[in-house]
Amino acid sequence: MIAQALSPISAERGASDSAISVLDDIGNTPLLDLTEFAHGCGVLDNVQLFAKAEWANPGGSVKARAAFKIVEEAEEDGRLGAGQILIDSSSGNTAIAYALVGAVRGFPVHLVMPKNVSRERKALVKAYGATLIESDPLEGSDGAIRMVRKIVAANPERYFYADQYNNDANWRAHYEGTGPEIWQQTQGRVSHFVAGLGTTGTFVGAGRFLREQNAAAQLVAVQPEDELSVIEGLKYLPTAITPGIYAPSLVDRHMTVSAETAWDVTQSLARAAGLFVGFSSGAAVAAAVQVAKELPRNTDGVVVTLLPDDGSKYVSLGLFD
């Protein structure tokens, strides 16, 4: 079900205001009502759970927001000029988003991704015409970061290094888009915002906006339980390269989720709610359900989380078999 509060946002673009390009459809994603699912997990009746369906963005993930904002700002201030190549590291979704934006805007894109990312992610990047550079799979996303830095250092004039982990346009995309959408779609009733930490842009940007609207809003950051728990799209920050855009002072509560729990909830969302989502979505919902469970009966909580992508890019991994 889609939250009733979605209607004002869905109606913003009139019939005569058709999109000029696919990039105009980034943002204004549906807010799904997962309250019935949450109650089935033991959440009290006085608490509601909602989730942003970010696969509705062009490119199929939340990363379209940040990628487009990064490109827009770089084109405006001249950092991305004629003849330059956009380059960055990514575990998959941002890579796909960059490739999509590059195809529309007409600039070449080179992407460094760990060799063990799913076949679907590699295929999508190539489908949009981007060049894929594979890094050591054992070094994960940090290895991809180190490789792209070496490539840029060897020929800095050739590239615009988008640097999603340290580019403020990343979190600003969510401060200007995701956060306001959540606020409007819940009619300002959001009490808890739960989001996974990867580049940390979603948590920082949306969380910062929501905190400005309501100082009592609780911001919950989610990451894997340890460095051995692999959840695509999330980082275990204690042993990873910490993104420069991360603002730990915003975090009211840190939560960790095991890979097994993330998978179990991902599977449950498909079978009980009809939502075929990626593993980071399962992790986010697992944490959000736990937050909702802990709210007392006299608290009318509105917990909102975010589903970064659907499950289509993970099928070849065999985990849905």
Per-residue pLDDT reduced to its tens digit, 56-93: 999 999 999 999 999 999 999 999 999 999 999 998 89
The correct answer on CATH 3.40.50.1100 for the domain covering 24-56+173-317 is: yes
pLDDT digits (tens, 9 = 90+) for 175-218: 999 999 999 999 999 999 999 999 999 999 999 999 999 999 99
Instruction: Clarify whether 313 is annotated catalytic.
Output: no
Q: Write b or e for each residue in 285-319: b if 16 or more Cβ atoms lie within 10 A of its Cβ, otherwise e.
A: bbbbbbbbeebeeeeebbbbbbbbbbbebbeebee
Give the pLDDT confidence score for residue 19 in this predicted structure: 54
Residues 191, 280, 281, 313: which is the catalytic one?
A: 280
Q: Write down the architecture of domain 62-161 according to CATH.
A: 3-Layer(aba) Sandwich (3.40)
| Annotation marks residue 115 as catalytic | no
Task: DSSP for 190-248, please give it.
Answer: --EEEEE-SSSHHHHHHHHHHHHH-TT-EEEEEEESSTT---TT---GGGS---TT--G
Nearest to 248 by CA among 292, 295, 200, 198: 200
**Residue of 63, 69, 122, 235 with catalytic role:** 63
pLDDT given at position 38: 97
- Asked if residues 8 and 41 have their Cβ atoms less than 8 Å apart, the reply is no
Instruction: From 166, 248, 176, 162, select the one nearest 205 (Cα to Cα).
Output: 176
Separation between Cα atoms, residue 287 and residue 293, nearest integer Å: 10
Q: Are 83 and 219 in contact (CB under 8 A)?
A: no
Q: Same topology for domains 24-56+173-317 and 62-161, yes or no?
A: yes
How many angstroms from the chain centroid is the CA of residue 118? Answer: 17
What is d(CA 132, CA 99) in angstroms, rounded to the nearest whole number? Answer: 10
DSSP strands (E only) in the chain: 31-33, 48-53, 85-89, 109-114, 131-135, 159-161, 192-196, 218-224, 253-257, 302-307
Spatial contact of 9 and 184, defined as CB atoms under 8 Å apart: yes
Number of H helices and number of E strands within the chain?
Answer: 11, 10
The ranges of the chain with pLDDT < 70 are: 1-19
Q: Which helix (H) or strand (E) covers residue 144, if one does?
A: helix 140-154
Structure tokens at 311: 């499950």
Q: Where are the domains of the chain?
A: 24-56+173-317, 62-161
